A and B are shown apart, each in its own frame.
Chain A
Amino acid sequence: MADGDVSREVRERLTRAGEGGVLRFITCGSVDDGKSTLIGRLLYDSKLLFEDQIKTLERDSRKHGTTGEEIDFALLLDGLEAEREQGITIDVAYRFFNTDKRKFIVADTPGHEQYTRNMATGASTADLAIILVDARKGVLTQTRRHTYIANMMGIRHAVVAVNKMDLVGNSRSTFHQIVSDYMKVAEDLGFKSITAIPISARYGDNIFKRSDSLKWYDGPTLMEHLERVDTAADDILELPFRFPVQWVNRPNLDFRGFSGTVTAGRLAKGGQIRVAHSGKEAAVSRIVTADGDLDEAVAGEAVTLVLDREIDIARGDMLVDPKSPPEVSDQFAAEILWMTDEKMHPGRSYLLKAGCQITPASVTTLKHKLNVNTFEKEPGKSLDLNEIGVCTLSTSKLIAFDHYADQRETGSFILIDRFTNQTVAAGMIEFSLRRASNIHTYAMDVDKSRRAALKGQKPAILWFTGLSGAGKSTIANLVERKLAGNGRHTYSLDGDNIRQGLNRDLGFTDADRVENIRRIGDVAKLFVDAGLIVTCSFISPFRSERQMVREQVEAGEFIEVFVDAPIELCMQRDPKGLYAKARAGKIRNFTGLDSPYEPPEAPELHIRTADMSADEAAEKVIDELVKRGLLG
């Protein structure tokens, strides 16, 4: 073949493969609906399997397969050894295939109830969902759940693939009954298109090729539909411009650009942008790429913007259309999917990451839970793994966002546990609860530093944490006496004056413990504002709550004192007789016994009360205050 011919043939084949861009879709179905078989069939029929892969597949089919002598396509997909042996898919796997019209990225997500989080993960980047229904079983609870999650995650195009048609004699009426049942489930949700196709994944019927046994069906095959479906119907280019700044590009003093990806809309060179947080505006003087400057940047493009004037912009800022800016707020309502074993408790502090913005945040209230099987609202106090709830959240810093229903990329966030660093939740913002422009912190003439100066001290929280009976209150009491004797202004908070008053409505469940500490932290902060040195003696067993209080005040104002004694010694001391009661089963959720205590990792002061007297311990605390310059 002459060179020119090769070049032409290659270019023709490749260009065709590229025209439709990428379609990302997920497949979901119940156990044994034949999901893996369907994807295996798509890969096989799109001629993307190589000879060596087919050989491995044939060998594996004989060893692990469930289809006798035939190829078990499901084995192509179950990637990890352990899964292969158990015969289940436990995580999200991504697969790729091309036809001459489109590139496809498939997220294969498992159907087990406990794996809602995996399905949500796969759905978060998908434009279309294939909902598999077993023709023998019809619409099941799982079908409703998958439909609900796909819709919640913002997927607007659904394909109902009624599989195993061969096992119901390719019955037309069975198919129509299932489609009619399904429409009752999905018609009130937000789908723009729902297409139903009868298939047999095992035999390839209506996947790539039409089937003689399903002659009564005259709609598109699955592949025809996937190649043609236009998922960009709500033209993302027509949405208001959004550009989260990822990285400040500063190679030398003559160039300062802002690198990021346009998440929505378009922007021409010379166009006006606003910094969402500060409200400052500028014009875009250059749109820089390594392939030369562009005249216009559109959604999906990764570019570097240069502005016509110097304004303060950093990672986490969002450059937006001045005529149609996003919300900027520190309180909003969102749907949250809980993704970890440890329960979600309102009040606990997490890290919230939304695009390039990161801030401490907490769930202030759980308004209600959502039942993914019945689509109904249910009351609840906390969220378990794979549960979904509508919550209000409060962030430490203002964040810029859109509503998830309008803009996925700027309307979504994750919550991260501050200690395990696990991603614990996915969130979709519904609406803002108040606008930043309505908030005015009234600047008082007499402020914290003036109040403290009058008292000749620096305010602080002395936070005593440790097991019951470790000696917290005893030491705190001595410290306060010594401070008062020195003419210092103090106040002390402990179980006795808080539990009987402010927090009288709270019990000892994990959720109540979190709320208990949140309120105490808030009160302590007010006393710090008043210029006082506040001693707080609370078991406060959870790191995240202590961290939450620490972050409410300025650096250096929170001094964590770990009052450390072995539990055997505490039980021996048992000043209030509580351990005895707990061991007799009269008190439940007792820290150290049937409720955990998480010791501080880096306390400002670590006191081992087994080795010293209460007075020595108190002196150590005073020394620490002097060393930190808090006593003037």
Chain B
Amino acid sequence: MNGFLASLWAEILKIRKSAILWVTLGVSLFAVIMLGFMMFILKDPDFARKYGLIGTKAAILGGQADWPSYYTMLIQITGVLGLLVYGFIASWIFGREYSDHTIKDLLALPVSRSTIVLSKIAAMTLWCAVISSLIFPIWLLEGYLLVLPGWDPSVLGSWISGYALASPMLILLGVPVAFVASFGRGYLAPLGYVILTIALSQVFAILGHGEFVPWAIPLFALASANPGQAQLGAASYVIYTVTVAAGFLGTLAWWRYADQK
């Protein structure tokens, strides 16, 4: 346990001292603020015409200036942003050790390599959880300030539940990214993987098979929080769990057994 805490402390220090902390936080907050801005534009058609491109984009994403559309926007933004930002964070936490050549300092220590991996995943989860826990309240506050129509307090609980389920699911999809970063020994491979997973999640969600694609399953969980929507089935949970578990076991095995050249 001491080894884990020592390693977790080290990981948090590395995160705190990096520019990536502020970049990922900034991108996430910017995205959620933009959601409110798009709703603001949709509420005012004259303003939307004046800012033609943004107005069109807002109309494509949300359609109408009301709470259900605003939640739909949250689903879409969270789906892409979650995979991108959380995937980027996982790439950085694991890939930087290879890019900075510091990996070798973590391989022959009194703290086991498995403990190092666990502490990295814990640090990744903590960091992503902070970002995730900021997004929803800001989204809610913006909607409240915009006085959007269609507010239904009975749905809010369902949305919160959906977000509370989807966020950790999105965060833990960073674990397979950790494996790709370790296997690829750097940033490039995991970033390519993240872009591929975003594309797959969007394509399969549009095709209506999102519940069977691990990277679209959290989006499905968010969408199913809306009244009358289909719920996630056991198959989705199994597919998702197998994906994350494979990433986790793969990362542990790679650190423990692969040649660290």
Q: Do A and B come from one complex?
A: no
A interface residues, Cβ below 8 angstroms from B: none
B interface residues, Cβ below 8 angstroms from A: none
